[in-house]
Each structure stands twice: as structure tokens, then as C-alpha cells.
Structure 1
Amino acid sequence: MLCKEVMDVIEREYPLSYALDWDNVGLLVGRDDKEVKRIYIALDATDDVIEKAISVQADMLITHHPMLFSPVKKINNLDFTGGRILKLIQNDISYYAMHTNYDVLGMADLSGDKMNMRDAEILEVTSEGDIGKEDEPEGIGRVSDLEEPMTLRECCEDVKEAFHLGAVKVFGNLEQKVKRIAICPGSGKSVIRTALEKKADVLITGDIGHHEGIDAVEQGLAIIDGGHYGIEHIFIEDMRQYLEKNLQQVDVVAAPISHPFLIV
């Protein structure tokens, strides 16, 4: 199967047109006419991930986060990003990223399902349904009411269990009751205002700094920070299943879960 045919299968479910304007998705490095027999899936195109893709003799690397955001003026071994590009090209690995198009069309519902959300609403609408996917609004994150209120502490335990986390960072009173929850995998700083507008009691996300956290609590919104990787690693297994179902001729290898930092 050619790389372009793999791309067609992916984009049938996750069209690039659903990515946000600032994003960089699709085929970023390599050939679309590359013959693909094995795909390696990871969250980020780190040095370790690229080396692993090479070691398993992958023809294509698919990640959630794009390795390239800003324009590249030089590609050489003196720059770590350039070195990664060179390594991919030298090993004839086609590199493809699916970021906010997957956030909108996959990650939002998947993360909501992990938290057993029912009748969930879109947290932040990013398209009004005019792109061609059944004319329905789509967007980042989900928000819904719990059947029964729980304490913030209990909600933390649910997040840890749902995403297989050893710990989470919490802003708020652990004994306060929460009824309406919002989730936004990845970096959720930009949706704090939206979560407040949607009357959420708690926002589950990642990459929350000191000031964002304490300011959110002052406005009545608790925050559970499970880490950027901690919430989004669900992409790896979800895409493995999707590709194995739709690409019977291709071997699909998923990167093991490997958190980028430790709490000691």
C-alpha cells in the first residue's frame, strides 16, 4: 500500500480541513508514493521515537503532535529538528502528523467517553458544520453533567483511573462537590474562560501554570491537570485500532506509554 493510500484512509475519518488555522498537519516529511508495509504510531516525533521507528523497520511514522510548526530555513545535522528530518529522509520514512483535526474529530469524544460523560456538549466549537461532515458543529473538548455530584478528590481518582495516571495536579478544594465537568486534552489554558461560560465546576486538562490555576479557582472553576501527555496518550491506542481495522495489509506498531517526566 502506498503512503498516499494510507493518508486517504486517515483523512476519510479525520479530514485535514478540521485542523485549526495555526496547526501543521498532514505529510510533513517524505514521499507520498512510498510503499508502506509497517507504520509506527507515537504521540511525539522525539529522537527515541524515530530511532524506534527505524529499529522496527517502519515505512511510515504517524504522530499526534507535529514535529514542525514554524518554517524551516535550514536542514542540517547542526540543529536537532534538522537532524530528525535528515534521519527520517535517510531511512526513507514518511512522517505524517494529525493534530487538531484529530482533537476535534477523535480526541474530544474519546476523552469524554473515558470519563463516562453522557449527553456531552462541545466545549469550544471550532467549525459550524459547513466543511462537509454531516453539517454538524464540531470542536475541542467536551462538557457534561454528572448523574450524581462527587467531591473533587473523587473526580481526581476517576481521572487517574481513566487515563492510567499515578498522580494529577489539582487546583481547588478537594472536598468541594462537583456536578458539571469539562475535559480538554492537551494544553487547556485557552479554554478556561469557555469552561467558566459553560458553567463547569471542574476542568480536566494539562499544562496549567500557577497563575492560570489560582485565577480559575478564584472564579469558581477547579482544575485537574493530568499532564499534556497524560491525557493525550490515548491517541496512540485509538489510532492503532483504527488503522488495524482499516489497513489489513499493513503492520501497525504502537509506541509504549512513556511519560516525558517523573514526579519524585
Structure 2
Amino acid sequence: MYIKDIVKIFENKYPKSLAYNWDNVGLIIGNEMDSVSKIMLTLEATQAVIDEAVENKVDLIITHHPFIFKGLKKINTSTTKGTDIYKLIRNKISVYSAHTNFDIAYDGLNDEIAKRLDLKDVLVLDTTYDQKLYKIAVYVPVSHQECIRKTMADMGCGNIGNYSDCSFTFEGVGRFKPLNESNPYIGIKNEIETVEEVKIESICEESKLSEAINNIIKAHPYEEVAYDIYELKNKGKKYGLGRIGQLKNSMKFKELSEIVKKSLNINEIRVTGNLEDDVNKIAIVSGSGSEFINNAYNMGADVLITGDVKYHDAQNALELGIKVIDAGHFGSENIFSDIVEEYLQNKFENIEVLKSKSNINPFVTI
């Protein structure tokens, strides 16, 4: 399988378009036409991770933190980053990064933490935008209707709330005359043809619209495909950073803190607030999210779980009366590899997926 095929499937779940403008996501090192048989997952591609990838003959490294974030003026072995890039290219190892798009996307980092805490009624904490919705209506001969429905569903069309593969079908008769320059699938040139057809309608998100149309055209038997696109007033999914939801049952803040440690498989956390207070509504921002303390408070959260909380942000939280669990940047994001491993293994049977053993927290508590 080629890198471009893996990227296509990955970005169908975690679109690049969700990333912040300042971010650097996607294929950062490599050629999309290179073949892949082994993938390594890691929070970031450090020298140790790259050495591990070389040793294990890995073709593609998928990271959460962008391998290249700021612009580079030189690439040579006199710098650490230059050495890393040189080693990757020399060993034909590509690097793909999914950062804020992975934080924002559904079933990404924040949703996974909410899932591990068994939260209910989960909503987006800070909305970045509402996805526009379109309706695709395509006319197809009866013989190919199931093929087209599957193509549309495979592209994510027809997702409504907790339902997928939603569509509606009208039966009718199509009429057309193939002209001299045509190469008709059905009919004879310069003669009117009538065909039993169906009109299939399905909803599609804006980010998937172009590719959905392209795939429909490829799967359709006709030389010229008749289809309509309607922009809808219906509200699509809200996308944004962080999540907020409720525990199934209220508990002491101390108990929640212990559950967070166990859920994220970390040994220590920092907290602000009375450990004996009851808590119920929980906000989550993986990585560095202390800037969302006020958002969480305004949405009624009792606790914000995040990382990299600064002194003055913690003081602000105390003043507001919202509790904070600082699980650390590494601690709140290290489950990235677990999420991607499960997703890719369900998609690819003939590709080996490894989680890096060299991906470690740079901080040591003594």
C-alpha cells in the first residue's frame, strides 16, 4: 500500500482542514507514492524514536507533534534537526504528523479521554467552526444503485447524529439521446433512450464533498454523470478544541484525580482545589490548555483536565472556583499511539503497526 492511500483513509477520520492555521500537519517528510509495510506511532519523532524506526525497518512514522514546526533555513548534520532529517531520508522513512486536527476531530485525543472517564452528554468545549452540510442527489441506473450508495457511505455521506449510511431513493425514468461524440454505456447514438433509474439523495459535510463527488463519478457506469448539489441550512457538526461532559455519578475530587491517573496510565498529577469537594461536570483539553480555564468555568465545569498549567493560571482557577487537574503535556497526550493503533489495525490487514518504545516523558520527578 502507498502512503497516499494511508493518508487518505487517515484524513477521512482526522481531516487536515480541522487544524489551526498556525499548525503544520500532514506528510512532512517523504513521498506519497512510497510503499508502506510497517508503521511506527509516537507522540513525537525524537532521535531515539528515529533510531528505533531505522532498527525496525519502519517505512512511515506517524506523530502527534509536528516533526517540523517552524521554518528551517538549513538542513545539514551540524544541527539536531538536520541530522534527524538526513537520517530519515537516507533510510527512506517518511513522517506524517496529526496535531490540532487530531485534538479537534471526533474520536481524537479529547474524546478518548472523555471515553476513558466514562463521561456522558459530551459536547465541544471551544467551537472553532460549524461544518456546512450539502445534499448530493445522483441519478443512477437501477442495476448500480447499491454500488453508488456504498460509495457515498464509504466517503462519510449520510452521517446524521448517531446514524450512518442514511440516504433516500426515488424511482423514475431517465431519458437522454447519445450524440455522435458520445460513448454511451446504455443506448444508441442519436436515438432517444429511456432507462429505469433511481435518484439517491444523501447529506455530505463540506470537507468531504469534492472527494465524494469524484468517487461517485468513478463508480458510476455512465460517461456523463447527472448529479445535483444543494447547500443546506441544516446545522452540521460543531468542531472545536476540548470536550465537556458529565460523570455518571458525582464523586469526590480526590477520587476523580485517582481515576485520571489510572485512565491515562501516569503516576503523578498536579491539582488545584479542595480534594474533598464533590465534582460532576468535567472539561478536557489535552496537551496545553490552561487558556481554556475561563471557557470551562463559563460552561459550568467543576474540573478542567489539561496539562502545562502555569502558576498564574492556577491562581485564576482558584479565584473562579474551578478545580484543575494538570496531567502534564506528555501525560495527557501519550495515549495518541493507542488511539491510532486501534484505528489503523481495523483498517489495514497487511501493514504492521508498532508503538514506539522510545517515546518517553522528558521530565523526571525526583
Alignment of 1:13-162 (within 5 A): 13-105=13-105, 106-130=108-132, 131-132=206-207, 135-162=236-263
Query: Who is 2:325 aligned against?
Result: 224
| 1:171 aligned residue (272, 288, 293) | 272
In structure 1, distance between residues paired with 2:32 and 2:118: 39
| CA deviation string 1:107-130 (max 9, x = no partner) | 221111011110111111122112
Comparing 168-177 with 250-259, which one deviates more in the overlay? 250-259
Comparing 170-179 with 45-54, which one deviates more in the overlay? 170-179
Over the aligned positions, Cα root-mean-square deviation in angstroms equals: 1.5
| CA deviation string 1:6-28 (max 9, x = no partner) | 11111111111111111110000
Contact preservation (8 Å) 2:17, 2:207: no
Comparing 173-182 with 47-56, which one deviates more in the overlay? 173-182
In structure 2, distance between residues paired with 1:77 and 1:212: 40
Equivalent residue pairs, number: 264
In structure 2, distance between residues paired with 1:258 and 1:74: 28
Shift of 1:245: 1.3
Contact preservation (8 Å) 2:119, 2:248: no
Unaligned runs of 5+ in 2: 133-205, 209-234
SS across alignment from 1:67:
coil
In structure 2, distance between residues paired with 1:2 and 1:148: 47
Q: TM-score, normalised by structure 2?
A: 0.70
Unaligned runs of 5+ in 1: none
SS across alignment from 1:249:
coil
SS across alignment from 1:154:
helix
**Aligned structure 1 segments of 4 or more residues deviating by more than 3 angstroms:** 131-134
In structure 2, distance between residues paired with 1:211 and 1:177: 24
Shift of 1:162: 0.9
Comparing 157-166 with 144-153, which one deviates more in the overlay? 144-153
Percent identity, aligned pairs only?
Answer: 38
| CA deviation string 1:126-150 (max 9, x = no partner) | 2211244692111211112223322
In structure 2, distance between residues paired with 1:83 and 1:46: 11
Amino acid at match of 1:115: L
SS across alignment from 2:285:
strand
In structure 2, distance between residues paired with 1:190 and 1:244: 35
